[in-house]
C-alpha cells in the first residue's frame, strides 16, 4: 500500500521536522501543561488551587530547562528556520524567550500571593491554562518570521488576554475585557488589511524576504501607509500611540499580577519583533529615514500623551497604565536607531525594564488596598518598609535616575539617538532627544505621587497645586 518512495519522502520530511521539535520544545511543554491543567479543572470535583499552581510552575520550569537546552542545540552565530520558513531562531530569540519565561515565573509567584487566586470558586486551572496560552503565544511571536505566524500568535495572545482580563469575577472586569476585545479585534483587522496589501506588493508573506526591500517606496507612497497599518497589531500589543486607548481600562480591571505581566511581556516581545523588522528594513537608506521618522513620532506622542494624561489620574492602576504608555514610548526610541550599539541597549533596557516593572507592581500589590486609589498608598511605606523601599527604588529606576540600572539603560538609548542625529541631523530626532529626556521630570512627578507618597502620611495634600505648577514648568 505504501510505496518505498513515499515512506522515504515521509522520513525525510520528519527529519526536517526534528530541529523544529527541539526549537519548539518550550512551546510544546507549555501547551501540554496548559491542556493538562484545563483537563484537571474539568475532571476534578474540587479545585486544589495550590496543586494547580505547582503544576503550572513546575511545567514552566521544565519548559525553561528545555529552553536552556535549546541554547546548546542551536549555534550562536546562526539563524535556524523552523516549520518551513514560519519561525526562525537565533541566540537573541532564545534570550527573549528566556526573559519571557522569567516574567511568567514572576507573575506566577505574584499570583500565589494574591487573594483572588485562592478564592474557593476560582477556576484556577482554566485561569492558568489561559495564562500559559498567553505565554505560548508570545513565545511563538518572538520567533515569527512569517506574517501568518505573527498574526496567529498575536491572536492567541490577544484572545487569552481578553479572557484573563475578565477573570476577576467583578462586573467591571467584563467591561474592561469587552473594550479590550473590540479594540483588539479592530486593530488586528486593520493589521490584516495592511498585510494583504504588503502581500499584494511583494507576492510573499515571509517577513525577511528580500522582495520587501526591492519595492521602492518613492514609487509607491501607499506602501508607507500599508506598513504602518501592518505594524498596527504589534503597536496595539505594546500600547503605543495611537493604539493605546485600551490600556487604562484593562489595567484597572485586570488582576494586578496579570497587569504586571501585560506591562512587560507583550511589550518586550513585540519590541523584539519590531526591532528585527526595523533592522531588516533599515538596510535601505530610503526606508531607514522613513521609518526613523515614523518611530520617532510614535515614541514622542506615546511619551507625551502617556505622561500628561497620567497627571490627571486618581486611580493607581490607571495611572500605571498611562505611565506604561509613556514607557512604551521610551522603549520605541530604540527603534529609531537599530545599530549594533542599539541592540545592546535594547537587550539591557528590556531586561531592566522587566525587572523594574515587576518590582513596582509587586510593591503596589503588597501595599494597595482593594479600591486602588492613589491615596490608598499614603503612609503605607512606613508599615511595610520592604515593599515601600522596593517601590521607591523601582520608581527611581523607571524614571532613570542614577545609580540605578534604569539610568544606564536610558543613557545607552539616548546616546544612540544622539549618534543617529550626528550622522543624520533631522530636527525630529533632536526634538525626541530633548523632549524624551525632559519628560523624565514629568514622569518623576508622577511616580513621586504614588511611590513616594507611600512614605508621607498625608493624603491629597497640595497635589493639585503641584500639578499646575509642573505643567507650567514644562511649558
Partner 1 sequence: MPENVLSCLIFLPLLGALVLLLWPRPVGAWAKWLTIGLTFGQMGLATGLYLYFEKGPEAPVGVYDLASYQFVEQASWFEISLGRSGRLSAEYLLGIDGLSVGLVLLATIVLFIGAVASYTIEKLPRGYFALYLVLSSAIVGCFVALDFLLFYLFFEFMLLPMYFLIGIWGGERREYAAVKFFIYTLVGSLLILVVMIGLYLSVIDPAKTARQAGLILHEAEASPEIIRKVQAALSAKKIAPENQVYTFRMTAMMDPDNFAPNALLGKSASGFALDFRFWAFWLLFIGFAIKLPMVPFHTWLPDAHVEAPTPVSVVLAGILLKIGGYGMMRLAFPIFPEQAQAGMLVMGFIGVLSILYGALNALAMDDLKKMVAHSSVSHMGFVLLGLAALNSEGAHGAIYQMWSHGILSALLFLLVGVLYDRTHSRLISHYRGLLGAMPYFGFFVMIGFFASLGLPGFSGFIGELFTLLGGFGSAGLPGWLVAGGVLGIVLGAAYFLWALQRMFLGKLWLREASWRDKIQDLHPREWLMLSLLSLLTLITGLMPGLVFGPMSRSVEAWIQWIWGT
Partner 2 sequence: MMISLNHYLFLAAFLFAAGLALVLTRRNVVVVLMGIELMLNAANLNLIAFARYDPLHLQGQAFALFVMVVAAAEAAVALGILVQLRRTYQTSNLDEIKALHE
With CB cut-offs between 5 and 8 Å by kind, which of partner 2, partner 1, none does residue 75 bind? none
Shortest Å, Cβ 421 to partner 1: 7
Among residue numbers 146 through 165, which ones bind partner 2 (CB under 8 A)? 147-148, 151-152, 155, 158-159, 162-163
From the list partner 1, partner 2, none, which binds 471 (C-beta under 5 to 8 Å, kind-based)? Answer: none
- Note whether 175 binds partner 1 by CB under 8 A: no
Asked if residue 474 binds partner 2 (CB under 8 A), the reply is no
Task: By CB under 8 A, tell whether 458 contacts partner 1.
Answer: yes
Q: Is 234 helix (H, G, I), strand (E, B) or coil?
A: helix
Site track 363-402 with partner 1 (rule: CB under 8 A), x = hit: -------------------x-------------x----xx
Calculate the alpha carbon distances from 412 to 376, 419, 429, 435 in Å: 36, 11, 15, 16
Q: Between 155 and 419, whose beta carbon lies closer to partner 2?
A: 155
Q: Residues 408 to 447: which contact partner 1 by CB under 8 A? A: 411, 414-416, 418-419, 421-423, 425, 430, 433-434, 437-438, 440-441, 444-445
Minimum CB distance to partner 1, residue 464 (Å): 10
| Contact partners, residue 168, CB within 8 Å, separation at least 6 | 116, 253, 254, 255
Closest CA to 368 of 401, 319, 329, 412: 319
Q: How far is the CB of 430 from partner 1 (least distance, A)?
A: 8
Question: What is the spatial distance between Cα 341 and Cα 380, in angstroms, rounded to a whole number?
Answer: 41
- Verify binding: residue 9, partner 1, rule CB under 8 A: no
Q: Does 86 bind partner 2 (CB under 8 A)?
A: no
Q: How far apart are CA 80 and CA 66, in angstroms?
A: 17
Containing 113, the helix (H) or strand (E) segment is: none
Which of 19, 224, 297, 466 contacts partner 1 by CB under 8 A? Answer: 466
Among 62, 83, 192, 245, binds partner 2 (CB under 8 A): 192
Q: Which of 171, 340, 425, 427 binds partner 2 (CB under 8 A)?
A: 171
221 belongs to the binding site for partner 2 (CB under 8 A): no
Tell me: does residue 175 bind partner 2 (CB under 8 A): yes
Nearer of residues 153 and 302 to partner 2, judged by Cβ: 153
> How far apart (Å, rounded) are the C-alpha atoms in residues 172 and 20?
42
> To the nearest whole angstrom, how small is the minimum distance from the Cβ of residue 256 to partner 2?
16
Q: What gap in Å lies between CA 384 and CA 365, rounded to an integer?
A: 12
Q: Indicate the residue among 200 and 403 with the shorter CB distance to partner 1.
A: 403
Q: Provide, rounded to whole angstroms, the least separation between the CB of residue 73 and partner 2.
A: 29
Closest CA to 47 of 111, 113, 123: 123
DSSP state of 454: G
Is 194 or 342 the residue whose CB approaches partner 2 more closely?
194
Residue 205 in the binding site for partner 2 (CB under 8 A): yes
Task: Check residue 41 for interaction with partner 2 (CB under 8 A).
Answer: no
Residues 6+ apart with CB under 8 A from 366: 384, 387
| Cα–Cα distances in angstroms (integers) from residue 221 to residues 201, 226, 356, 401, in the given order | 12, 9, 41, 42
Q: Write out the three cell numbers for 412.
A: 545607552
Buried-state track 58-85, b at ≥16 Cβ within 10 A, e below 16: ebbebbbebbeebeeebeeeeebbbbeb
Per CB under 8 A, 237 contacts partner 2: no
Structure-derived torsion over alpha carbons of residues 99, 102, 103, 109, reported in degrees to the nearest 10: 180
Q: How far apart are CA 96 and CA 67, in angstroms?
A: 11
Residue 475 half-sphere exposure, CB side, CA atoms within 13 Å? 6
Query: By C-beta, is 194 or 329 nearer to partner 2?
Result: 194
Min. distance of Cβ 268 from partner 1 in angstroms? 21
Give residues 117-146 in contact with partner 1 (rule: CB under 8 A). none
Alpha helices per DSSP H over 311-337:
316-336
Q: Is the peptide bond before 475 cis (omega within 30 degrees of 0)?
A: no
What dihedral do alpha carbons 358, 361, 363, 364 form, nearest 10°?
Answer: 180
88 near partner 2, judged by CB under 8 A: no
Which candidate, 222, 218, 334, places its Cα nearest to that of 278?
334
Report the interface residues with partner 2, using CB under 8 A.
147-148, 151-152, 155, 158-159, 162-163, 166, 171-172, 174-179, 181-182, 185-186, 189-190, 192-193, 195-197, 199-200, 203-205, 248-249, 252-253
Footprint of partner 1 (CB under 8 A): 339-341, 343-344, 382, 396, 401-403, 407, 411, 414-416, 418-419, 421-423, 425, 430, 433-434, 437-438, 440-441, 444-445, 448, 452, 455-456, 458, 461-462, 465-466, 469-470, 473
Amino acid at each position: 500500500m505504501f510505496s518505498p518512495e513515499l515512506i522515504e519522502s515521509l522520513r525525510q520530511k520528519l527529519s526536517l521536522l526534528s530541529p523544529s521539535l527541539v526549537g519548539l520544545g518550550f512551546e510544546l511543554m507549555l501547551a501540554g501543561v496548559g491542556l493538562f491543567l484545563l483537563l484537571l479543572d474539568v475532571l476534578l470535583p474540587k479545585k486544589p488551587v495550590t496543586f494547580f499552581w505547582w503544576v503550572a510552575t513546575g511545567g514552566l520550569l521544565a519548559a525553561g530547562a528545555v529552553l536552556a537546552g535549546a541554547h546548546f542545540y542551536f549555534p550562536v552565530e546562526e539563524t535556524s528556520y523552523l516549520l518551513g520558513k514560519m519561525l526562525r531562531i537565533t541566540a537573541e530569540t532564545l534570550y527573549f524567550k528566556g526573559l519571557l519565561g522569567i516574567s511568567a515565573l514572576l507573575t506566577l509567584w505574584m499570583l500565589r500571593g494574591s487573594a483572588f487566586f485562592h478564592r474557593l470558586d476560582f477556576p484556577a486551572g482554566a485561569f492558568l491554562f489561559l495564562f500559559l496560552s498567553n505565554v505560548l503565544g508570545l513565545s511563538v511571536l518572538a520567533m515569527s518570521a512569517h506574517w501568518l505566524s505573527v498574526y496567529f500568535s498575536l491572536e492567541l495572545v490577544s484572545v487569552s488576554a481578553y479572557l484573563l482580563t475578565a477573570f476577576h469575577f467583578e462586573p467591571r472586569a467584563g467591561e474592561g475585557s469587552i473594550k479590550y476585545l473590540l479594540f483588539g479585534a479592530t486593530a488586528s483587522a486593520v493589521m490584516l488589511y495592511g498585510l494583504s496589501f504588503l502581500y499584494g506588493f511583494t507576492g510573499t508573506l515571509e517577513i525577511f524576504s528580500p522582495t520587501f526591500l526591492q519595492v521602492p517606496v518613492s514609487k509607491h507612497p501607499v506602501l508607507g501607509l500599508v506598513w504602518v497599518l501592518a505594524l498596527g497589531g504589534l503597536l496595539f500589543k505594546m500600547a503605543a500611540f495611537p493604539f493605546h486607548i485600551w490600556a487604562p481600562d484593562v489595567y484597572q480591571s485586570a488582576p494586578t499580577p496579570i497587569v504586571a505581566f501585560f506591562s512587560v511581556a507583550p511589550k518586550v516581545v513585540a519590541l523584539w519583533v519590531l526591532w528585527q523588522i526595523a533592522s531588516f528594513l533599515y538596510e535601505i537608506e530610503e526606508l531607514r529615514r522613513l521609518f526613523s521618522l515614523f518611530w520617532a513620532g510614535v515614541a514622542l506622542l506615546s511619551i507625551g500623551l502617556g505622561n500628561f494624561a497620567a497627571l490627571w489620574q486618581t486611580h493607581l492602576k490607571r495611572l500605571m497604565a498611562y505611565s506604561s504608555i509613556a514607557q512604551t514610548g521610551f522603549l520605541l526610541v530604540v527603534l529609531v536607531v537599530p545599530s549594533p550599539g542599539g541592540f545592546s541597549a535594547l537587550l539591557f533596557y528590556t531586561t531592566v525594564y522587566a525587572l523594574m516593572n515587576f518590582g513596582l507592581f509587586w510593591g503596589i500589590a503588597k501595599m494597595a488596598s482593594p479600591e486602588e486609589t492613589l491615596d490608598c498608598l499614603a503612609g503605607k511605606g512606613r508599615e511595610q518598609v520592604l515593599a515601600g523601599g522596593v517601590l521607591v527604588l523601582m520608581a527611581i529606576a523607571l524614571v532613570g535616575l542614577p545609580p540605578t540600572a534604569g539610568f544606564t539603560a536610558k543613557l545607552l538609548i539616548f546616546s544612540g539617538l544622539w549618534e543617529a542625529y550626528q550622522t543624520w541631523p533631522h530636527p525630529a530626532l533632536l526634538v525626541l532627544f530633548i523632549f524624551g529626556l525632559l519628560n523624565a521630570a514629568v514622569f518623576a512627578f508622577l511616580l513621586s505621587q504614588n511611590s513616594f507618597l507611600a512614605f508621607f502620611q498625608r493624603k491629597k495634600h497640595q497635589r493639585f497645586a503641584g500639578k499646575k505648577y509642573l505643567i507650567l514648568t514644562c511649558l
